[in-house]
Amino acid sequence: MDALLLKQYLHLEMVRMDEPEIGPDDVLVRVRACGICGSDVHGLDGSTGRRIPPLVMGHEAAGEVVRTGANAGDLQPGERVTFDSTIYCGRCFYCTRGEVNLCDNRQVLGVSPGEYRRHGAFAEYVAVPRRIVYRLPASLTYEQAALIEAVSVAVHAVNLTPRSLADSAVVVGTGMIGLLAVQALRVGGCTRIFAVDPEASRLRLALDSGATEAFNPKDCDVPEAVRKATGGYGAAVALECVGATDPIRTAIASVRKGGAVTLVGNVAPNVDLPLQAIVTRQIRLQGSCASCGEYPACMELMASGAIQVAPLISAVAPLAEGPQWFARLRNREPGLMKVILRP
């Protein structure tokens, strides 16, 4: 089969590879669409340590069933499916508690952090365990379905955020996940949503996605602006979708006393936290990792139009054009959001 292989750091190449083999619990999927994730772009140069070559990346995908192992026969060849990016074992302490995103034996598709190497979906075929596969509703295209993984990350984070109808929310960082978080907060009953990002084009997209106000930290003191817009108090909740000291401090300073900050971004391994402000203002910090069973809800939200991903798809291109699209994303070309490759 054709595959886009990370041969060495910063070097992607189309190669011929053997079709993946499937075990009794697996499904072989012919990939029809696979999105390029920010984590793939960051992983390209080795800085994250999670894409050790040689590796076929790609974990945001959809396609059709080619064949199944003996224990996965409820799926028929030709059925349209998508799958989770997290491969969980189904047997450990956390899996048996239903916390599959926290599985002790968790692997991520298209990732190789050293302990394992799981080839992903930038290829004609990918093998995945049946338990992470979901049938696609007819109303979702493969391209839309390739964004379910990102939607599920945003929906999981919003589900973990304590809030009430008509609460106000701040979203710091309006890249892909932040923009989807804006939509999910809206569906989740937040009436005022403040988007925060240093890039004007992203703030425009955030306003189009349902944010009610947009603040650029280059132009204003964001916590001050949020307080001014909320009667002097600050927002009820904040979602942080960058993962670095400054944006996390912005999120913490933008919520009111007793507010909650959900941390989704995950770039810096360590950050500087304003401890006394968190304690004396009784702020709740909540980490959010991947998603945990939200796929069916996400498909429903997307099929009903409550969450719209089409405006976030910047380009759909053949897999062979992968290297140049990765380069454009790595150069942070303004306005470029999700790029989807089709094997």
- Binding footprint of Zn ion on the chain (CB under 5 A): 37, 88-89, 92, 95, 103
Residue owning tokens 């070559």 = 53
* Separation of alpha carbons 286 and 161, rounded Å: 8
Which residue number, 132 or 211, has a Cβ lying nearer to Zn ion? 132
The least CB distance from residue 59 to Zn ion, in Å, is 6
For the chain, the first-to-last Cα distance in angstroms comes to 10
Which residue number, 86 or 209, has a Cβ lying nearer to Zn ion? 86
Partners of 68 in the beta sheet? Answer: 27
User: Is residue 251 classed as helix, strand or coil in its secondary structure?
Assistant: helix
Partners of 27 in the beta sheet? Answer: 68, 128
Sorted by sequence, the CB contacts under 8 Å of residue 24 that are 6+ apart come out as 69, 70, 71, 72
Return the exposure string of 195-206: e unless at least 16 CB atoms fall within 10 Å of the residue's CB, then b.
bbbebeebbbbb
The least CB distance from residue 333 to Zn ion, in Å, is 19
The least CB distance from residue 2 to Zn ion, in Å, is 22
Which residue number, 103 or 261, has a Cβ lying nearer to Zn ion? 103
Question: How is the chain split among helix, strand and coil, in percent rounded to 5?
Answer: 30, 30, 40
Our separate counts of H helices and E strands in the chain read 11, 17
Which residue number, 147 or 252, has a Cβ lying nearer to Zn ion? 147
Which residue number, 92 or 297, has a Cβ lying nearer to Zn ion? 92
The least CB distance from residue 40 to Zn ion, in Å, is 7
Sorted by sequence, the CB contacts under 8 Å of residue 331 that are 6+ apart come out as none
Which residue number, 6 or 95, has a Cβ lying nearer to Zn ion? 95
Which residue number, 163 or 338, has a Cβ lying nearer to Zn ion? 338
The least CB distance from residue 39 to Zn ion, in Å, is 5
The least CB distance from residue 156 to Zn ion, in Å, is 13
* HSE-CB for 112 with a 13 A CA cutoff: 18
The least CB distance from residue 31 to Zn ion, in Å, is 15
State which amino acid sits at residue 169: A
Q: Which long-range contacts (CB under 8 A, 24 or more apart) does 267-274 make?
A: 267/42, 267/242, 267/243, 268/243, 268/244, 271/243, 271/244, 271/245, 272/245, 273/248, 273/249, 274/249
The least CB distance from residue 253 to Zn ion, in Å, is 28
Which residue number, 67 or 117, has a Cβ lying nearer to Zn ion? 117
